[in-house]
Every structure is written in C-alpha cells, then in structure tokens.
C-alpha cells in the first residue's frame, strides 16, 4: 500500500493501526471547481491518489485531504501568524465541521473509491492570550483551521461529535470498514 500524503498525522494513524505502507507524494493542484465542500475535498483526495497511482498502477494507493469549515467558509492552512490568529478567533466559542476525505485507488484492479467523514468540533471561548500562546508554539502553521486536536490545540476543544481520527487527518473507522466490506483481509494489514 502507498500513502500519497506527507502528513505525519496520517502516517501515525495508519501505522498505529498496523498498516504497512510506503509514502510517495506528488505535487498536485489542491484546488477544485466543484460546488460543495464535500465534492471539493473528495476531488482533491482523488487527485493526490491518482497522481501516485499512475506511477504504481498495481499498488493500492491512498490519498486524503482535510478541511475545516465554519459558516460555509473553508479554513485552510494559515499562511502567517495573523491568519492563524484570525482563524482561531473565528472558531472561538463556536462549533465547526472538520471534513476529511480519502481516496483508495488501484488502477490495475480498476478500484476507485472515495468517501468522507464529517466531525463536529466545539471550541471553548478563547482569549487573545491563549491564541497568541498557541501560535507561539508554531503548531498551527501546517494545519487546516490552524489547530491540531492531537497536540496542544486539544486545549481549545470542549467536545467533538464524530470520528477523532478524522479531525486528526484520516477517517480510520470509515476506511477500515471500506476495506472489510470490499473483501480485504484485516488479518493481513501489511499485505493490503
């Protein structure tokens, strides 16, 4: 299996579950002209997987993408400290959705599957001091929505409704159910 992502969080989630894989990343255009956020995120996950699958047509390739959405606005990765501050301020005291899509492709076996998971995350009210402290850790700079639930950003989260791993970057439960329902042997994860 090949993970078409450089995300250390996705790598950690899959390794901890017992999957054996290599990581291959291609530069792809991470934009979409689709109408809905769900369609956009699935298209981006698919693009990532297809770009790698073309070089490894007989391998199972996984692509994934995560978006944070509040009031129909997509929050990507912040470009600077000010943008991170504004994102976190907009999430303060509210709930938002984290949508993570995955694409599973094997060109030789003609397998193309894409799905997504939506998790609702509730933030406590954040003070400017708390936001600035967090930005000072540099943790928010490579994360959609400017926070990581598995790190110091957990301090901001009051509760979640849905899949924790999806917020972290990969919808593990939905992915494993897909494999099981597709006839893959979960007793041999290293051979998937």
Domain map of the chain by residue range?
A: 2-191
pLDDT at position 19, please? 94
pLDDT tens for 39-50 read 999 999 999 999
The one catalytic residue among 65, 128, 142, 163: 65
CA–CA dist 47, 101 (Å, integer)? 12
Beta-strand relationship, 157-161 and 111-123: antiparallel
**Helix pair angle (172-181, 8-17), 10° resolution:** 50
- Residue 102 burial (CB < 10 Å; 0-12/13-18/19+)? buried
pLDDT at position 190, please? 81
Taking 50 as the pLDDT cut, the residues of the chain under it are none
65 is catalytic: yes
CATH 3.90.950.10 fits 2-191, yes or no: yes
CA–CA dist 142, 78 (Å, integer)? 7
pTM: 0.92
Alpha carbon separation from 82 to 76, 79, 85, 111, 133 (Å, rounded): 14, 8, 5, 43, 13
pLDDT at position 191, please? 83
pLDDT at position 189, please? 84
Q: Which residues, other chains included, contact 132 with Cβ-Cβ below 8 Å and sequence gap of 6+? A: 85
Tokens of 125: 């009210």
**Longest distance between any two alpha carbons in the chain, whole Å:** 53
């Amino acid at each position: 299996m090949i993970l078409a992502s450089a995300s250390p969080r996705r790598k950690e989630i899959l390794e901890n579950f017992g999957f054996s894989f290599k990581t291959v990343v291609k530069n792809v255009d991470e934009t979409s002209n689709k109408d809905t956020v769900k369609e956009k995120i699935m298209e981006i996950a698919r693009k990532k997987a297809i770009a790698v699958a073309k070089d490894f047509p007989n391998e199972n390739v996984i692509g994934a993408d995560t978006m944070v959405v509040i009031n129909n606005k997509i929050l990507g990765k912040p470009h600077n400290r000010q943008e991170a501050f504004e994102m976190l301020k907009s999430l303060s005291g509210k709930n938002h959705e984290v949508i993570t899509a995955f694409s599973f492709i094997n060109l030789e076996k003609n397998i193309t599957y894409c799905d997504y998971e939506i998790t609702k995350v509730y933030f406590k009210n954040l003070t400017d001091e708390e936001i600035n402290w967090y930005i000072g850790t540099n943790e928010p700079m490579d994360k959609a929505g400017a926070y990581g639930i598995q790190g110091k950003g957990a301090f901001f989260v009051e509760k979640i409704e849905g899949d924790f791993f999806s917020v972290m970057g990969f919808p593990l439960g939905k992915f494993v159910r897909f494999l099981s329902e597709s006839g893959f042997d979960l007793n041999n994860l290293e051979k998937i």
